[in-house]
Amino acid sequence: MSKERARRRAERLAVHEKQKAARARKVARRQQRRQLVQRLTPRPRNAGRLHRRGRGERIGILLVPLVAVAAIWLFVPEMSLRIVLTAVVVLAAPALVVVVLGRRAG
């Protein structure tokens, strides 16, 4: 009788250990998936960079240099001077945006 109980207890323990190992594998896979998803999802600090300025500011940032370049090409007679002034506007526009509108803490 006691040998029978010991055998049944050993069988129960073996089944329990198999279930425990299967649960541990399942939890480990779930944790690995979560870590992978976490690594692949973009961080909020990188998102939304275009929306730091208002719509009017963005339109102004685009239109003012375009108007300046159009005025240069309409009113400056010499081709070489047109090209130089256009390059100056293109190179100076980002610096002027920062100076005039200021940097915002992101």
pLDDT by residue (tens digit) across 61-104?
899 999 999 999 999 999 999 999 999 999 999 888 888 887 65
Domain count, the chain: 2
User: Under 8 Å CB-to-CB from 33, ≥6 apart: which residues?
Assistant: none
Of 36-40, 43-47, 69-73, the range with the highest mean pLDDT is 69-73
Q: Amino acid letter at 20? A: K
DSSP 47: S
Residue 4 CA to its chain's centroid (Å): 63
Q: Flag whether the pTM goes above 0.95.
A: no
Task: Give the pLDDT confidence score for residue 87 in this predicted structure.
Answer: 96
Instruction: Tell me, yes or no, whether 81 lies in a domain.
Output: yes
C-alpha to C-alpha distance for 61 and 50, rounded to whole angstroms: 12
Instruction: Tell me, yes or no, whether 106 lies in a domain.
Output: no
Q: Which of helix, strand or coil describes residue 48?
A: coil
Structural domain boundaries, residue 22:
1-41
